[in-house]
A and B are shown apart, each in its own frame.
Chain A
Amino acid sequence: MSVSLQLAQTLLAILLAPLLMGWVNQCRAWLQGRSAPPITQPYRTLRKLFHKDAVIAHNASPLFRFAPYMIFACMALAAGIVPTIANDLPFSPAADVIALVGVFALARVFLALAAMDIGTSFGSLGARREMLVSFLAEPALLMVFFTASLISQSTELPHIVETLAHKDFAIYPSLAFAAVAFWMITVAENARIPVDNPTTHLELTMIHEAMILEYSARHLALIEWAVALKLFTYSTLGIALFLPWGIAPHGDVAALPLALAAMVAKLALGGALLSFMEAISAKVRLFRAPEFLGTAFMLAVLGMLIHFLLEV
């Protein structure tokens, strides 16, 4: 039962991730006064890309062709760890939140290495900027998880969700700091404004796009899908940590439909909020990004410190 629930939940995440991306794009188009693409546009793009012939540079190494599959597998694994609708994940003991950070890092390192593989100026530029953003975002994310783990005495996501969702209502100031930090990290790690712009192809500003310039067809499709999955995983992570109400507890099958509805509503709201924040902010200069992330890092550490000082 729980194994099938685990599989169903992971598959659902993989299949629905592009939909969230489509929703965010749609919201953003509305906010910018453009006519919006249909919400299923990401699926069409993926289908188109899968049908195309892959064009690969002459000097690409096997690493270049291997990386998209690796990145996709990492993101699928990450999606499998995070409780979306049910808390009953038999796979979750295999990887806790620290391992989750490790999975994201693994995918990122492969993407950066693949970007440097062809040896174009844009590829290495993107790789360097991506690693610059991540060296601050990754410890900040870890600190956010630490705050949640200290409260729930566990680094297992189902246990964290269980504690945070079913405890008597209490206000944790540390979690407030962690939530702000987590929002900033999500923005940075998913290549959104103000750190990166997912739609730009202007060389001065791009980070993520610069890394995947050389990819085409099925490889690009896998990477785009992985990107959508990453946004989805981060969103569900945020929900699991800070708005966990409604996730079906262990062994409660009857709560599943309600949990699904709650998750769809929360994701829709979160996606709309993300596009709204993007619409009202401007992309910052590259060397402002470390300041932005440094702030996130400091907030996350402060959250942990506050937990030690006030809540123990």
Chain B
Amino acid sequence: MPVAFLADSILDLAWGVVLFWLALGGASLLLHGSPRLLTRLVFPLGALGALGIAGVGVAGLILPASAMVLPIGLPDLPFHLRLDALSAFFMVLLGGAAFGITVYATGYFRSMAAGPLALLAMWYHLFLAGMVTVLLADDAYAFMVAWEVMALSSYFLVTTDHKIPEIRRAGFLYLLIAHVGAVSLLLAFGVLQGGEGDYTFNTMRLAELTPFWSSAVFLLALFGFGAKAGLVPLHVWLPEAHPAAPSPVSALMSGVMLKTAIYGLLRATFDLLNVQIGWWGTLALALGLITALYGVIFAAVQSDMKRLLAWSSIENIGVILAAFGLTLIFHTDGKGALAALTLTALLYHALNHAFFKGLLFVGTGSVLHATGERRMGHLGGLMRAMPWTAWLTLIGALAIAGLPPLNGFVSEWLLLQAFLFTPGLTQPYLDMVVPVAAASVALAAALAAYVMVKFYGVVFLGQPRDPALRHAHDAGWPERLGMLWLAAGCVLLGLLPTQVIGWLEPVVLMLTGQTLPGAGSWLLLAPVSTERASYAPLIFLAVVVVVLLLTYLWVRRVYHGRVRRSDPWDCGYPEGDARMQDSAEGFGQPIRQIFEVFMRVERETPDPFDRKPHYRGDSRDKLWLLIYQPIDDLTAWLSKQAGRLQHGRIQWYLIYSFATLIFLLVFAAR
């Protein structure tokens, strides 16, 4: 059986890369004296490992599933590993994005001090290894161990700059919510094994659960994975923790780690649970849409570029979850082809998001490196000083805004197509849900374009808001290569949708039991039939390029190409300076005004007689106030009550011991 042998050997290879990363992590601690070796050797080798994982993923999509048992772990509880199409797809995502980001990291961390760098390199590779093990795990024990490794290593990565109090606070919040989520997952697995006492996924697949317990599992999984993914209202840690980490780590967390939660949700719902119930889908759809709109509205009012991107990640996770909800709805309604379509859109969007969000985060990393500034109000005009970073980031910004012919548009197109096939659902109320859902997705996509114009326009265009920005240095070659890889991913995923969808087919088949009818050719994407809908990005791009060139040549040939440089016209106003451009707050002002109900806005407006007028507008998350603040207050109150027990006097403590003893004796005597 050569095929089975091949499948087994790629699983060995995947586990080998995990061990290789662990070894690299260990080696980086030993190399703490030589930062050059760390950036020139450890990180490039790590990137090579990522490429290996991507290769394993591609092979795993073609080959049949394979499993193995590792003799590590507790006695009687060995690690079970399994590589099937779903894991393989997420490994392609992980490997593809992590390769670009790690190549970028070789350059990015060059100027870091040796000691922290060695620690960072260790946690970085441990983080990668943890994420791959999450994808490979085939029993709840291995899954939870890997999940915790991933959470803890990313916690230490977030708190790299632990001397700054806000970062410590962000890290703590992240750790807290990650663990609340992990507890929920633990409970979900506990229910899933159905009283067998055996925690392998195989047993869970066979366990017969009543609808009540199935729903309990789904809700627990949605809570647990939602906490990791940044589902509203469990999102509060995300805009704090993601920006606090060094940029390549932010890129990994936003681009890849959030997807492990999506993986878990798909694994638990479609693979481990053997029945699905319709209302789960409606719930996930509603939560996803709320998350998408909430995320994009808050992204529009941010003034810190990394926080803006973090909020935009919440939006994208919302879109993915909405697609997940739709998949569930269609799947339980017996509309297999539609479920396949939405699942394709979901997976495609997850893959896209890994590439463009990775690209944007490392782009901000280069800006941060060159200027030391994250606040958009102090940046501007970087297009002139940093052309490489600026043009490559532009690709990411256009892609995330969902513009054709880049990749963001393809997944959006697929998802929107799904809404158009919905008539004929058996649940009549869904007929009303679907138009509203379609409208919300369209609205979130349009707002994403607003956010990206703001992000790109304020940071890279216009005049520099600080004279020093004119001399900002561009990214070095390793950074450029990393960004080029990610940008190439955005372009290729946009231009070759039929090929990508072909690769997704095994995953879709595995989860929904059906594939897309697919009537198109290699050039033409037509998920159902060419009469219904089709899109050909290559032709699209070719037409735009041809028209562009023809126009250019015609204008030059028939007329002339003379250019005169002068000062800006600006309606004849001569005093315009960099401070008169829109600031980040200014650009977000219309959105803040329209959606003020969702925010708690703090304004500081100057007095007319102020010598140094200062304006500040801060929009905060109202959900923090409504949900988390009461919990925080309650915890503080309870601790205070418990604190009353402690007086610091020995006689009181003796009385406590005595009372406990009496109580226990009474208890035992009965």
Which residues of A pack against B, CB within 8 Å? 50-51, 53-59, 61, 63, 69-70, 72-74, 76-77, 80, 91, 93-96, 98-99, 102-103, 105-106, 108-109, 112-113, 116-125, 127-129, 131-132, 134-136, 138-139, 142-143, 146, 149-150, 153-156, 159, 201, 203, 213-214, 216, 218, 222, 287, 290, 297, 300-301, 304-305, 308-309, 312
Q: B277 interface residue, CB < 8 Å from A?
A: no
Residues of B within 8 A of A305 (CB): 432, 435-436
CB of A53 within 8 A of CB of B562, answer yes
Residues of B within 8 A of A76 (CB): 547, 551
CB of B565 within 8 A of CB of A156, answer no
Residues of B within 8 A of A135 (CB): 443, 446-447, 449-450
Could you pull out 8 A-B pairs where Cβ atoms are within 8 angstroms? A102-B403, A120-B569, A120-B580, A121-B570, A125-B582, A135-B449, A142-B416, A156-B532
In chain B between 420 and 457, which residues have their CB closer than 8 angstroms to a CB of chain A? 420, 423-424, 431-432, 434-436, 438-439, 442-443, 445-447, 449-450, 452-454, 456-457
A124-B582, A131-B453, A301-B439 known; A61 vs B571 contact (CB < 8 Å): no
In chain B between 26 and 66, which residues have their CB closer than 8 angstroms to a CB of chain A? none
CA–CA, A222 to B586, complex, Å? 30
List 12 additional A-B contacts (Cβ < 8 Å) besides A54-B564, A146-B416, A156-B532: A54-B563, A55-B563, A58-B568, A76-B547, A105-B449, A118-B568, A122-B571, A123-B581, A132-B591, A154-B531, A203-B571, A218-B555
Residues of B within 8 A of A301 (CB): 435-436, 439
How distant is B448 from chain A, measured CB to nearest CB, in Å?
A: 9
CA–CA, A135 to B440, complex, Å? 12
CA–CA, A129 to B590, complex, Å? 8
How distant is B297 from chain A, measured CB to nearest CB, in Å?
A: 10
In chain B between 570 and 594, which residues have their CB closer than 8 angstroms to a CB of chain A? 570-571, 573, 576, 578, 580-582, 586-587, 589-591, 593-594
CA–CA, A55 to B416, complex, Å? 43
Among B102-110, B250-258, B376-384, the stretch that binds chain A is B376-384
**Which single member of A102, A139, A309 contacts B439 (CB below 8 Å)?**
A139
Q: B69 interface residue, CB < 8 Å from A?
A: no
Q: Which residue of B lies closest to A51 (CB)?
A: B559
A interface secondary structure, majority: helix
How distant is B559 from chain A, measured CB to nearest CB, in Å?
A: 5
CB of B594 within 8 A of CB of A290, answer yes
**Which single member of B384, B402, B449, B591 contacts A59 (CB below 8 Å)?**
B384
Residues of B within 8 A of A156 (CB): 531-534
How distant is B403 from chain A, measured CB to nearest CB, in Å?
A: 5
CB of A118 within 8 A of CB of B446, answer no
CB of A113 within 8 A of CB of B461, answer yes
A105-B449, A203-B571 known; A119 vs B547 contact (CB < 8 Å): no
How distant is B223 from chain A, measured CB to nearest CB, in Å?
A: 30
CB of B593 within 8 A of CB of A77, answer no
Residues of B within 8 A of A74 (CB): 544
A127-B453, A305-B435 known; A94 vs B539 contact (CB < 8 Å): yes
CB of A94 within 8 A of CB of B524, answer yes
Residues of A within 8 A of B568 (CB): 57-59, 118-120, 214
How distant is A12 from chain B, measured CB to nearest CB, in Å?
A: 15
How distant is B584 from chain A, measured CB to nearest CB, in Å?
A: 11
How distant is A202 from chain B, measured CB to nearest CB, in Å?
A: 10
Residues of B within 8 A of A94 (CB): 524, 534-536, 539-540, 543
CB of B384 within 8 A of CB of A159, answer no
CA–CA, A65 to B401, complex, Å? 22
CB of B446 within 8 A of CB of A128, answer no
**Which single member of A72, A109, A142 contacts B453 (CB below 8 Å)?**
A109
Residues of A within 8 A of B404 (CB): 95, 99, 102-103, 106
Q: B503 interface residue, CB < 8 Å from A?
A: no
CB of A95 within 8 A of CB of B536, answer yes
Q: B398 interface residue, CB < 8 Å from A?
A: yes
Q: B156 interface residue, CB < 8 Å from A?
A: no
**Which single member of B419, B449, B533, B582 contacts A134 (CB below 8 Å)?**
B449
CA–CA, A236 to B613, complex, Å? 52
Residues of A within 8 A of B571 (CB): 122, 201, 203, 213
A59-B384, A134-B449, A139-B445 known; A121 vs B434 contact (CB < 8 Å): no
A56-B564, A118-B462, A143-B442 known; A128 vs B582 contact (CB < 8 Å): yes
